[in-house]
Amino acid sequence: MPSFSEQKGLSLDRLQTLCLVAEKGGVMAAAGGNANRQSLYSRQLRELEAFFGAPLIDRSRTPHSLTDLGRQLEKTARGFLTDLEVLANAGQSGRVPVVIGAGESVIQAILIPAFFAKGAQEGLKFVFRNLQGTAILSGLRNRRLDMGIAHDNGGHADLKSKRLLRYGVRLITRDAVVGRLPRAGWRDLKRLALALPEGDSELRRAVDASMKDCGGQPQAVVECTSHAQVVEAASRKGMAGVVPEFIARRATGSGLHSLRLVELEGFTRELRILWHPAALEMKPQIEACIRMLAAGSKT
């Protein structure tokens, strides 16, 4: 009987096909309507199944799903393919990038300031990807991300993590009258229009709940897709905005006032640095990134 390495049916192409089928939710979806590609993918999966001597795809339902063995193989293959890509990039450029997933506001207010100068000095290279929390956790697990910055909502016991910072909420405005107050409530803002982050985030839900008994003032006239847009809106005359504390800290350097908001003084959230244990073995520069982030969060 030939040795494991001499047997036919196992290749990078076949493993990539398995990962793609798992990601897209079936052979047809992975093929994207291309009949030739669908035939190729089906054949490659059958060859993998022959190699391992067991089904990798559950074909009893539509769309097809991976068997337990298929999921184990997919997880192993993703890590293996990612490690090979790291080595290839190192050979081509001499510098392997650290790929970090985070929300747009975290990238702008935390990652870029923390890494801009220090990262260049240490010869590090970064790729920032604007992602939401669930996509960050998925990216870490399938090794498409090396690190992630996400809220501590649990569900990441299989990943390594470190607290980055805890933050509350601040009101920001250019209005001088309101700006002289050490803290303000909704009723103090009746003459100002309000900019808020849109969507169904915990922050937005807390804001909406806190405004129920304030007599309908102030009026939320602008909904923004990012905290950076809230800052821009709040810099206009007659406007105010609600943003996380770490965003307000940066905004005050541009002439905006930052105040505690009475109704939301009890609102706090925590951001954590997350990474896959296997990624650290392949990219020791991740440790330097964690140190830089931890140092930057204290300034």
Residue 91 lies in a domain: no
- Same-domain check for residues 105 and 236: no
**Confidence (pLDDT) at 94:** 55
Which amino acid appears at position 285 of this protein?
Answer: Q
CA nearest neighbour of 105 among 252, 236, 250: 250
Residue 80 lies in a domain: yes
Tell me the pLDDT tens digit for each residue of 208-244: 888 887 766 677 788 988 888 999 999 999 999 999 9
**Confidence (pLDDT) at 156:** 82
- Same-domain check for residues 12 and 80: yes
- Residue 123 DSSP class: T
**Confidence (pLDDT) at 101:** 94
Residue 36 lies in a domain: yes
Positions of the chain with pLDDT under 70: 1-6, 86-87, 89-95, 117, 119-121, 215-217, 296-299
- Same-domain check for residues 213 and 285: no
Coil, strand or helix at 47: helix
- Same-domain check for residues 153 and 277: yes
**Confidence (pLDDT) at 89:** 64
Residue 59 lies in a domain: yes
Residue 90 lies in a domain: no
Spatial contact of 217 and 186, defined as CB atoms under 8 Å apart: yes
- For tokens 């990807």, what's the residue? 129
- Same-domain check for residues 229 and 251: yes
- Same-domain check for residues 8 and 69: yes
- Same-domain check for residues 56 and 28: yes
Of the residues 38, 58, 84, the one at which a domain ends: 84
Helix ranges (H only) for 53-194 are: 68-93, 104-106, 112-121, 133-141, 176-179
- Same-domain check for residues 55 and 183: no
Residue 257 lies in a domain: yes
- For residue 150, give the CATH number of its domain: 3.40.190.10
Listed as own residue / partner, the contacts of 275-279 with beta carbons closer than 8 Å and 24 or more positions apart are: 275/140, 275/146, 275/147, 275/148, 275/159, 275/160, 275/161, 276/140, 276/141, 276/143, 276/145, 276/146, 276/159, 276/160, 277/159, 277/160, 278/79, 278/143, 279/140, 279/143, 279/146, 279/147
- Same-domain check for residues 114 and 229: no
Distance in angstroms (rounded) separating the CA atoms of residues 65 and 209: 41
C-beta atoms surrounding 233 within 10 Å:
20
- Alpha-carbon dihedral angle through residues 240, 241, 242, 245, given to the nearest 10 degrees: -100
- Same-domain check for residues 9 and 68: yes
Domain count within the chain: 3
**Confidence (pLDDT) at 165:** 92
What are the phi and psi torsion angles at 293 (to 5°)?
-65, -45
Of the residues 38, 57, 84, the one at which a domain ends: 84
230 lies in which domain range?
A: 169-267
Residue 69 lies in a domain: yes
Distance in angstroms (rounded) separating the CA atoms of residues 41 and 61: 18
- Same-domain check for residues 262 and 173: yes
- For residue 72, give the CATH number of its domain: 1.10.10.10
- For tokens 């937005």, what's the residue? 204
